[in-house]
Amino acid sequence: MDLDQLIKTDGLVAQTAKFAKEAHKDQKRLSGEPYFSHLLETAKALAGWGLDEKTVAAGFLHDTIEDTSVTLEDIKAKFGPEVGFLVDGVTKLGKLKYRGRESQAENIRKMILAMAEDLRVVFIKLADREHNMKTLSALPPVKQKRIALETTEIYAPLAYRLGMQQLSGELEDLAFPYLYPQEYRWLLENTKYRYEERVEYLKKIKPLVEKALNEAGIIPLFIDFRAKRYSSLYKKLKRYDMDIEKIHDLVAFRIIIKNIEDCYAAMGIVHKLWPPLPGRIKDYIAMPKPNGYRSLHTTVMCLGGQIVEFQIRTEEMHRESENGLAAHWAYEEAKTTKEYRERGASRARPQEIEWVNRLRTWQKEFGEDENFLNALKIDFFRDRIFAITPKGEVVDLPDGATPVDFAYQIHTAVGHECVAAKVNQKIVPLDYKLRSQDIVEIITQKNKKPSADWLKFVITAKAKYEISAAIKAKQGTFRRKERQTELKIIAEDRLGLLKDISSIISRSHINIANANSSLFGKGNFHQMKIRCETEDQEKISKVIMKIKSLKGIREIESRLI
Ligand code: MN
């Protein structure tokens, strides 16, 4: 969709553009530009992604409620409820702030999706963020840091999962100089000429490759060079002792070919020209990366002894890896996050893959299906709510949770000493059902003991357990129990599975405190949580070994609780 064209007509987009220009007419960006420039760039990005007119229109209006005297009612009355809904959604997201706690990042990403209710709201937020990042230099340094951090930790990964790899990489690159100014300068000084040198070099070998391919009757659809982004180069350099000589894919040579057979043939031809380095041929077509990425990679000793990485794939694979699908994130994250390293696997967890799959389904429907807007409705967090502490931390709770559940989730002592709760600054009863985005403040009183009545309304296991324990302790009947170990098992559903598992556990003389099982994902998977009354990790690891040998077990992890 061409935005210039749309603005010239007197349709919805043109009307909102005019309206926004008028509403913000006395405002300037910190960069000195008229405020409207920001709105225009936001709308342009949305149009560029092929989004519908209402979304582009909402792009023009996205800052009106927050920054001008225009109200949501005005917008609804003038431009309809849907545009109003989108603008309202972006306004709400604007209030969410990430304060740099890594443990919170995933919750916030989920919360953004849950709050948005409609992916188009997220797209507008991303377009807004992209332009804000491009103009970040106009802001005071403290703000630059906060916004850059939020962009790297929240919005770039979010874009990645939505399959917007291009945007995600760009956001990372825009944030990088603000977060790592010294490292950025170092990279510029040490790599800039190398990039240029590399591209010049690859241009020289391009005709050689083309000629050899043509002689074999293979016509590449296109050949291009892909320069590694600074932000990802930096991550990789850290793993290679900052030795740039070891980075062979600084600029990769990419060949896009019509069909799979020809991909293999093309790799053979490249190897005939130049010898491959041992162990550097990767067939991600026969064995896709865990995230679904498909391509052939090979690294060869090229003209003049230079080492070059070739990536060979079909157009479909290329499109998938480039923009469409959320294919890369799980693997890339797997390589970098601590949690994964500790698990010692570069495999995404099933629930994350499931998340990607759902996004992938949308992406497919997106643009093809006439009703694609319905496919953008976010409903997979329907059974979760995200409540917020007065300090802005997000607490992930099951639907139906109460302030007491919230209190225990924060800390056992906060739960025990809870006497009252405020939700959005109003006192509510303790059995109040929380809703997403509620700001919850727990009022405590020193040495207060929990009430047995709470057991009638709390719904989280933690609250139930702690309340019962405290009551028993008060009655003098409670001895401090051993801690328990929770096993989380993901398995294909089959008859007798739970029985097989529980008999392994009881044969090891471990009592089961409780067990539950829920359907998981789209397939025939079940997630089981089994609490074992032991803190003996040696015993547990033997049990895990045995359970792993059962048929259909996909994943098992344990934690002390
Ligand atoms: Mn904005």
| Mean pLDDT on 52-75 | 93
Half-sphere exposure of 222 (CA within 13 A, CB side): 7
% of residues, the chain, pLDDT over 70: 84
The reported pLDDT for the residue numbered 522 is 59
| Mean pLDDT on 29-50 | 90
The number of angstroms, rounded, from the C-alpha of 114 to the middle of its chain's C-alpha atoms is 13
Three-class secondary structure of residue 534 per DSSP: coil
Query: What's the CA angle centered on 319, arms 315 and 320, to 5 degrees?
Result: 115
What tokens were used for 461? 């296991």
The DSSP result for 364-395, as a single string, is HHTTTSTTHHHHTB--TTTTEEEEE-TT--EE
CA pseudo-torsion sign 355, 361, 365, 367? positive
Does residue 115 contact residue 96 with C-beta atoms inside 8 Å?
yes
What whole-number distance in Å separates Cα of residue 209 and Cα of residue 103? 48
For residue 438, how far is its CA from the centre of ligand 1 (angstroms)? 24
For residue 133, how far is its CA from the centre of ligand 1 (angstroms)? 11
Would you tell me how many other CB atoms lie within 10 Å of the CB of residue 416?
Answer: 18
Confidence category of residue 381, pLDDT binned at 50, 70, 90: low
What whole-number distance in Å separates Cα of residue 198 and Cα of residue 201? 5
The reported pLDDT for the residue numbered 206 is 94
The reported pLDDT for the residue numbered 524 is 74
Half-sphere exposure of 17 (CA within 13 A, CB side): 20
| Mean pLDDT on 387-395 | 80
Does residue 415 contact residue 364 with C-beta atoms inside 8 Å?
no
Confidence category of residue 348, pLDDT binned at 50, 70, 90: very low
For residue 56, how far is its CA from the centre of ligand 1 (angstroms)? 13
For residue 46, how far is its CA from the centre of ligand 1 (angstroms)? 13
The DSSP result for 202-243, as a single string, is HHHHHHHHHHHHHHTT---SEEEEEEPPHHHHHHHHHHTTT-
For residue 313, how far is its CA from the centre of ligand 1 (angstroms)? 38
Instruction: Check if 533 is active-site.
Output: no
| Mean pLDDT on 4-22 | 88
Compute CA distances 82 → 19, 59, 73, 79, 373, whole Å. 17, 13, 12, 8, 11
Pairing relationship of beta strands 525-532 and 485-492 according to DSSP bridges: antiparallel
Least confident of 60-74, 248-262, 326-340, 518-532: 326-340
**Domain 181-317, CATH:** 3.30.460.10
Q: Which residue has the higher pLDDT, 351 or 83?
A: 83
Residue 1, pLDDT above cutoff 50: yes
Confidence category of residue 507, pLDDT binned at 50, 70, 90: confident
CA pseudo-torsion sign 352, 355, 360, 361? positive
Residue 70, pLDDT above cutoff 90: yes
For residue 131, how far is its CA from the centre of ligand 1 (angstroms)? 8
Out of 3.10.20.30, 3.90.1300.10, 3.40.630.30, 2.160.10.10, select the CATH number for domain 384-474. 3.10.20.30
Confidence category of residue 133, pLDDT binned at 50, 70, 90: very high
The reported pLDDT for the residue numbered 480 is 53
Residue 424, pLDDT above cutoff 80: yes
Confidence category of residue 43, pLDDT binned at 50, 70, 90: very high
For residue 89, how far is its CA from the centre of ligand 1 (angstroms)? 13
The reported pLDDT for the residue numbered 167 is 85
The reported pLDDT for the residue numbered 251 is 84
pTM, full prediction: 0.61
Pairing relationship of beta strands 384-388 and 307-314 according to DSSP bridges: unpaired
For residue 126, how far is its CA from the centre of ligand 1 (angstroms)? 10
Query: What's the CA angle centered on 346, arms 344 and 352, to 5 degrees?
Result: 115
For residue 378, how far is its CA from the centre of ligand 1 (angstroms)? 23
The reported pLDDT for the residue numbered 340 is 33
For residue 123, how far is its CA from the centre of ligand 1 (angstroms)? 12
Residue 318, pLDDT above cutoff 50: yes
Give the DSSP H or E segment for 482.
none
Confidence category of residue 23, pLDDT binned at 50, 70, 90: very high
Q: Where are the domains of the chain?
A: 3-179, 181-317, 384-474, 485-560
The reported pLDDT for the residue numbered 482 is 65
Tell the burial category of 518 from Cβ atoms under 10 Å away from its Cβ (0-12, 13-18, 19+).
exposed
| Mean pLDDT on 136-159 | 90
Give 275's DSSP letter: P
- Sheet containing 525-532: which strands, arranged edge to edge? 512-520, 525-532, 485-492, 553-560
For residue 65, how far is its CA from the centre of ligand 1 (angstroms)? 11
The reported pLDDT for the residue numbered 274 is 92
Dihedral-angle region of residue 509 (phi above 0 means left; psi in -120 to 50 means alpha; beta otherwise): left
The DSSP result for 179-203, as a single string, is H-HHHHHHHHHHHHHHHHHHHHHHH
Instruction: Check if 66 is active-site.
Output: yes
**Domain 3-179, CATH:** 1.10.3210.10
Compute CA distances 141 → 137, 174, 430, whole Å. 8, 15, 43
What whole-number distance in Å separates Cα of residue 307 and Cα of residue 313? 20
Least confident of 98-112, 256-270, 307-321: 98-112
The closest of 362, 366, 397 to 381, measured between CA atoms, is 397
The reported pLDDT for the residue numbered 428 is 92
Residue 515, pLDDT above cutoff 80: no
Question: pLDDT tens digits for 280-294?
Answer: 888 988 887 655 668
For residue 128, how far is its CA from the centre of ligand 1 (angstroms)? 5
List the beta bridge partners of residue 34: 28
Catalytic residue among 33, 66, 316, 482: 66
| Mean pLDDT on 183-191 | 88
Amino acid at 29: R
Least confident of 54-63, 72-81, 355-364, 501-510: 355-364
For residue 38, how far is its CA from the centre of ligand 1 (angstroms)? 7
Give 281's DSSP letter: -
Dihedral-angle region of residue 467 (phi above 0 means left; psi in -120 to 50 means alpha; beta otherwise): alpha
The reported pLDDT for the residue numbered 163 is 62
What whole-number distance in Å separates Cα of residue 519 and Cα of residue 388? 28
Q: Which residue has the higher pLDDT, 176 or 532?
A: 176
Residue 505: CB partners within 8 Å, gap ≥ 6?
Answer: 512, 530, 532, 543
For residue 62, how far is its CA from the centre of ligand 1 (angstroms)? 6
For residue 95, how far is its CA from the centre of ligand 1 (angstroms)? 12
| Mean pLDDT on 194-209 | 89
Does residue 256 contact residue 316 with C-beta atoms inside 8 Å?
no
Most confident of 162-171, 327-336, 457-466: 457-466
% of residues, the chain, pLDDT over 90: 36
The reported pLDDT for the residue numbered 329 is 30
Residue 420, pLDDT above cutoff 80: yes
| Mean pLDDT on 489-511 | 82
What whole-number distance in Å separates Cα of residue 121 and Cα of residue 439? 22
For residue 115, how far is its CA from the centre of ligand 1 (angstroms)? 18
Three-class secondary structure of residue 40 per DSSP: helix
For residue 116, how far is its CA from the centre of ligand 1 (angstroms)? 16
Q: Which residue has the higher pLDDT, 520 or 159?
A: 159
Instruction: Work out the mean pLDDT of the chain and round it to a whole number.
Output: 81
Amino acid at 80: G
| Mean pLDDT on 58-82 | 94
Residue 324, pLDDT above cutoff 70: no
For residue 444, how far is its CA from the centre of ligand 1 (angstroms)? 39
Architecture of domain 485-560: 2-Layer Sandwich (3.30)
What whole-number distance in Å separates Cα of residue 163 and Cα of residue 56? 20
What whole-number distance in Å separates Cα of residue 56 and Cα of residue 48? 10
Catalytic residue among 67, 283, 352, 441: 67
The number of angstroms, rounded, from the C-alpha of 219 to the middle of its chain's C-alpha atoms is 38
| Mean pLDDT on 387-403 | 84
Q: Over the Cα atoms of the chain, what is R_g?
A: 28
Confidence category of residue 334, pLDDT binned at 50, 70, 90: very low
Residue 534, pLDDT above cutoff 70: yes
What are the helix (H) ranges across 226-370? 230-239, 260-273, 315-319, 329-336, 338-343, 350-365
